[in-house]
């Protein structure tokens, strides 16, 4: 399939002006002022006038099998559907298990990831769940990374949380060491996605491992870093030491009396002059979201949405004056670089044809994943196997 997007304002995420983009099969083949094709090639033509072309979004933390179950069996959330992903402009997801590594398994996670790939998006996974020792697919984290293509890292390992397995520092250091070497031997990132809980210890164990071993700080990707105000603030020092932080777009957070959105926090981070390259956002999509009433009583349960990922970035751009390219980086080129997804996250010749067209108000208009048009003018074109 050939697609030619004409006269579109391109954000790589860095802005490079108005050009044509020619997609051949699954690849961005040409980016030129005025692409001329021979008459034997009849592409589908998309008029990009008044639109922006940006990389397909990368969501680095999604419970693709469903999550939750923390309010007993009936609160286990359902599996994600294809249109939940693409309607939010997301073309690459990283699937993970969470609290429950017993009824949700690694073999099931591999199968779901392959299913989503068959349906049209790119999908990779982390090995493990909250628990330590890590429940892997093969014998170890090291083997999983070296032998299973889909596995690109470890996670989400829970720390500073009442639901964690309360692992020792030595056990966590060993997991990160295996992830590092497994990543090196397989050409993958081998990043360890750490679920940060509400506990007072915050990043203490991570800092101690960094002080006592040779493991580089970039081997860790702590997530939910804006869960509460102290954790969010501790992230600033961590970033100054070269650390990476991820914040979650779908969850509510405890900042005292204040309701704080991820968009606002991204703006705060940007305005402090902290390096935007060291921050990512992920949705925690399909995880369970408890809803509380004013008195703090549980009212019901909702499911985290992948679409919250871009909604927050868009709000940061439109409501909090974050430049488009800086906002985009946290969900495109940053996760691609950190997770070593070498053909993702940048609009560049030779990269995978994962792109999103945004309309004048920066709404998702058209989504192309691996060269296939998934959403066109806001309408879903490709549905998941069991979606009606």
**Nearest distance in Å: CB 214, Zn ion:** 27
> Distance between CA 105 and CA 97 in Å, rounded?
8
Question: Per rule CB under 5 A, is residue 104 in the interface with Zn ion?
Answer: no
Residue nearest to Zn ion (CB): 195
Stretch that binds Zn ion, among 101-109, 148-156, 297-305, 352-360 (CB under 5 A): 148-156
Buried b (16+ CB within 10 A) or exposed e, 329-367: bbbbbbbbbbbbbebbbbbeeebbbbbbbbeeebebbbb
Shortest Å, Cβ 98 to Zn ion: 6
Residue 126 vs 238, nearer CB to Zn ion: 126
Closer residue to Zn ion, CB minimum distance, 287 or 371 = 287
**Which window, 194-202, 270-278, 319-327, 373-381, contacts Zn ion (CB under 5 A)?**
194-202
Least separation in angstroms between residue 197's CB and Zn ion is 8
**Residue whose CB is less far from Zn ion, 51 or 195:** 195
Nearer to Zn ion, 195 or 344 (CB): 195
Residues of this chain, 154-173, that bind Zn ion according to CB under 5 A: 156
Q: CA-to-CA distance for 114 and 138, rounded, in angstroms?
A: 18
What is the contact mask toward Zn ion in residues 243 to 272, using x (rule: CB under 5 A)? Answer: ------------------------------
For Zn ion, which residue of 63, 150, 188, 195 counts as binding (CB under 5 A)?
A: 195
> Of 151-159, 296-304, 309-317, 361-369, which part binds Zn ion (CB under 5 A)?
151-159
Q: Are 227 and 262 in contact (CB under 8 A)?
A: no
We find the least distance from the C-beta atom of residue 194 to Zn ion, in angstroms, to be 9
Return the number of the residue (239 or 247) whose C-beta is nearest Zn ion: 247
In this complex, which beta carbon is closest to Zn ion, that of residue 308 or of residue 370? 308
Interacting span for Zn ion (CB under 5 A) from 133-141, 187-195, 310-318, 354-362? 187-195
| Nearest to Zn ion of 194, 265 (CB atom) | 194
Tell me the closest approach of the beta carbon of residue 224 to Zn ion, in angstroms.
Answer: 6
N- to C-terminal Cα separation, the chain: 25
Residue (188 or 195) nearer to Zn ion, CB: 195
Contact segment (CB under 5 A) with Zn ion among 42-50, 82-90, 152-160, 359-367 equals 152-160
C-alpha to C-alpha distance for 142 and 157, rounded to whole angstroms: 16
Query: Annotated active-site positions, please?
Result: 284
Q: How far is the CB of 200 from Zn ion (least distance, A)?
A: 18
Q: How far is the CB of 364 from Zn ion (least distance, A)?
A: 26
SS3 (DSSP) at 16: strand
Q: How far is the CB of 104 from Zn ion (least distance, A)?
A: 13
Which spans in the chain are helix H? 82-86, 106-119, 141-147, 169-186, 204-212, 229-240, 262-271, 308-320, 324-329, 333-338
Specify the DSSP class assigned to residue 78. Answer: P
Instruction: Specify the stretch interacting with Zn ion by CB under 5 A; choose among 37-45, 191-199, 263-271, 319-327.
Output: 191-199
Q: Show Cβ contacts of residue 332 under 8 Å, excluding neighbours closer than 6 positions.
A: 13, 54, 55, 56, 57, 58, 345, 346
# residues contacting Zn ion (CB under 5 A): 2
> In Å, what is the CA distance from 342 to each residue of 176, 187, 247?
22, 10, 22
Q: How many CB atoms lie within 10 A of CB 50?
A: 10
Residues that bind Zn ion (CB under 5 A): 156, 195
């Amino acid at each position: 399939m050939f697609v030619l997007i004409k006269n579109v304002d391109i954000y790589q995420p860095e802005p490079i002006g108005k050009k044509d983009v020619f997609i051949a099969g699954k690849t961005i083949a040409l980016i030129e002022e005025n692409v001329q094709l021979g008459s034997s090639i009849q592409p589908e033509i998309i008029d990009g006038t008044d639109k922006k072309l940006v990389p397909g979004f990368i969501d680095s933390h999604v419970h693709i099998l469903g999550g939750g179950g923390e309010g007993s069996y009936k609160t286990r959330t359902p599996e994600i559907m294809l249109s939940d992903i693409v309607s939010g402009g997301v073309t690459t997801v990283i699937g993970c298990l969470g609290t429950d590594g017993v009824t949700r398994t690694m073999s099931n996670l591999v199968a779901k990831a392959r299913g989503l790939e068959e349906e049209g998006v790119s999908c990779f996974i982390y090995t493990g769940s909250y628990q330590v020792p890590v429940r892997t697919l093969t014998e170890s984290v090291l083997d999983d990374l070296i032998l299973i293509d889909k596995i690109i890292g470890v996670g989400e390992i829970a720390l500073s949380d009442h639901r964690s397995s309360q692992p020792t520092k030595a056990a966590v250091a060993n997991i990160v060491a295996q992830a590092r070497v497994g990543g090196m031997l397989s050409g993958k990132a081998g990043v360890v996605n750490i679920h940060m809980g509400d506990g007072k210890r915050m990043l203490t164990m991570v800092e101690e491992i960094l002080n006592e071993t040779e493991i580089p700080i970039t081997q860790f990707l702590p997530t939910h870093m804006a869960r509460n105000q102290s954790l969010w603030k501790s992230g600033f020092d961590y970033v100054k030491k070269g650390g990476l932080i991820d914040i979650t777009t779908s969850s509510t957070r405890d900042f005292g009396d204040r309701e704080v959105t991820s968009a606002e926090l991204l703006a705060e981070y940007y305005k402090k002059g902290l390096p935007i390259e060291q921050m990512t956002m992920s949705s925690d999509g399909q995880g369970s979201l408890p809803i509380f009433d004013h008195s703090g009583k549980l009212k019901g349960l909702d499911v985290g949405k992948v679409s919250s990922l871009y909604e927050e970035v868009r709000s940061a751009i439109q409501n909090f004056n974050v430049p488009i390219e800086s906002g985009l980086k946290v969900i495109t080129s940053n996760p691609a670089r950190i997770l070593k997804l070498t053909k993702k996250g940048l609009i560049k010749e030779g990269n995978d044809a994962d792109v999103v067209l945004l309309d004048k108000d920066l709404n998702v208009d058209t989504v192309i994943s691996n060269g296939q048009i998934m959403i066109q003018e806001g309408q879903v074109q490709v549905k998941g196997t069991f979606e009606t």
